[in-house]
Amino acid sequence: MIPQTILVGDDDPAFCHLMQLLFAAAGFTVLVAPDGHSLVRIAQEAMPDLVLIDLVMPQLDGYEALRQLRNDTRTAHLPMIMLTARIAPADLVSGFESGADDFVTKPVGGEELLARVRGHLRRAARRPVHNPLTGLAGNVLITEEIRYRLRRSDEFTLLHVDLSSFKSFNDSYGFARGDHAIHTLADVLRAVVAPEEASGAFLGHIGGDDFVLLARPERAEQLCRAAITRFHACVPSLYDAEDLARGFLDGTDREGTALRFPLVGLTIGGVVHQPGRFHTPEQLGRAAAAMRQQAKQGGTGTYVLDLGDDMALRIGLPLAV
C-alpha cells in the first residue's frame, strides 16, 4: 500500500522536523512548506492526503493559504487542520469560516495529533467515490478500473487529459468560472467517449482540471484529436469578449513578474499498456504523466502517445483552432 502523504506548512524548522519524525514513524510520507506560497504550490502539485497549516506564516498567512486551497478545485476536498498558538474564539471562528476542518493548539501531544489526523483521513476515505464537481468516477474508481484491466491482461490506452493555462484562467476569473470551464471539459469528454462505451471506454475525473480516459489502443489518437477539436470550439464561450479578442490574459507569476497567458486548451499524454508492461496503476499513471509533461512542452492542442516498446512515440502537433 502506498503511504498517505501529509503536507505541513510551518516556518519553524524545529517544529517541521518534529512533524517529519512523528508522521514518518507512523508510516506517512511527509512534505514540508516553509511559507504560505510554498504550501499552496506544493499542495497543488503533490496532491497530499491531508494538510496541516500554521496560522502565522510568511508571504501568505494560514487563513489566506487555506482560502486559496479551498477555492482551487484541485485541493478543495483535502482535509485541512489549522495549527496555532492562539486560542482566542475569534481566531477559531476565522479559521472555520476560511474552510478549516479542525484546529490544533500548539504545543500538541504527538498521540493526540496522530489521532486527529487519522480520524480526518478515515472520514475522507468514506466520501463518495465520484468526483463531487462533475459526477464522474473519482480516484478510487479510476484506480480500481485500471487494476481490474491489469489483472485481466487487457491491452488498453490510458489518456491523461489536462487543461493548459487553467491556473491563469482561474486566477483571472475566479473559481466559479474555473468550475464552469471544468464542467465544459467534462461534457466534451463525455460526448467523445459515449460512442466508445460499447467497446469498454472509461472516463474518470482525477480532480481539478485532470481527467483520465481508458480506451482501445487503436482509438487513442482519434479520441485525442476529437477531444482537442471539440474543446477548442468551446473556448470562446469561456472568455470575456475583450480577453478573447486579445487572445491572452494579463497576469503575474509567483515572483510578481508581468506575463501574458494564452487561452486555455487541452494537452494529452497517453500510454499503451500491453500485457506485462505495467504491473500497478501507479506505474501506468506515472508513465502517462510523463507523456503529458512532454505534451505541455508542445503547447496547447498537443498530444503525446507512447505506443509501446515496439512502436515509436507519436506526437500530435497543435491543432489550428
The arithmetic mean of pLDDT across residues 2-26, rounded, is 94
- What's the CA gap between 302 and 93, in Å, rounded? 46
Q: Does residue 79 register a pLDDT over 80? A: yes
Strands across the sheet containing 80-84: 29-33, 5-9, 50-54, 80-84, 102-105
Omega prior to 58 cis, within 30 of 0:
no
Q: Does residue 317 register a pLDDT over 90? A: no
Q: Does residue 298 register a pLDDT over 70? A: yes
Note the pLDDT of residue 319.
Answer: 57
Higher-scoring residue by pLDDT: 252, 20: 20
The arithmetic mean of pLDDT across residues 296-311, rounded, is 85
- Closest CA relative to residue 139, chosen from 125, 156, 158: 125
Listed in sequence order, the residues at least 6 apart from 177 whose beta carbon sits closer than 8 Å to its beta carbon are: 169, 170, 238
Per-residue pLDDT band for 93 (boundaries 50, 70, 90) equals confident
Q: Does residue 230 register a pLDDT over 60? A: yes
Cα 283 to Cα 58, 170, 204, 207, 291, distances in angstroms: 37, 30, 18, 19, 13
Residue 29 corresponds to which cell in the numbers above?
Answer: 510520507
Note the pLDDT of residue 145.
Answer: 86
> Would you say how long the chain is, in residues?
321
Per-residue pLDDT band for 321 (boundaries 50, 70, 90) equals very low
Note the pLDDT of residue 88.
Answer: 74
Q: Return the minimum-mean-pLDDT range out of 70-84, 175-189, 230-244, 266-280.
A: 70-84
Domains of the chain, CATH where assigned: 5-125 (3.40.50.2300), 139-316 (3.30.70.270)
Three state DSSP letters for the chain: CCCCEEEEECCCHHHHHHHHHHHHHCCCEEEEECCHHHHHHHHHHHCCCEEEEECCCCCCCHHHHHHHHHCCCCCCCCCEEEEECCCCHHHHHHHHHHCCCEEEECCCCHHHHHHHHHHHHHHHHCCCCECCCCCCECHHHHHHHHHHHHHCCCCEEEEEEEEECHHHHHHHHCHHHHHHHHHHHHHHHHHHHHHHHHHCCEEEEEECCEEEEEECHHHHHHHHHHHHHHHHHHHHHHCCHHHHHHCEEEEECCCCCEEEEECCEEEEEEEEECCCCCCCHHHHHHHHHHHHHHHHHHCCCCEEEECCCCCCCEEECCCCC
The arithmetic mean of pLDDT across residues 253-274, rounded, is 88
Q: Does residue 59 register a pLDDT over 90? A: no
Residue 251 corresponds to which cell in the numbers above?
Answer: 497576469
Q: Does residue 196 register a pLDDT over 70? A: yes
Q: Does residue 216 register a pLDDT over 60? A: yes
Q: Does residue 192 register a pLDDT over 60? A: yes
Q: Return the minimum-mean-pLDDT range out of 237-251, 268-282, 298-312.
A: 298-312
Q: Does residue 219 register a pLDDT over 60? A: yes
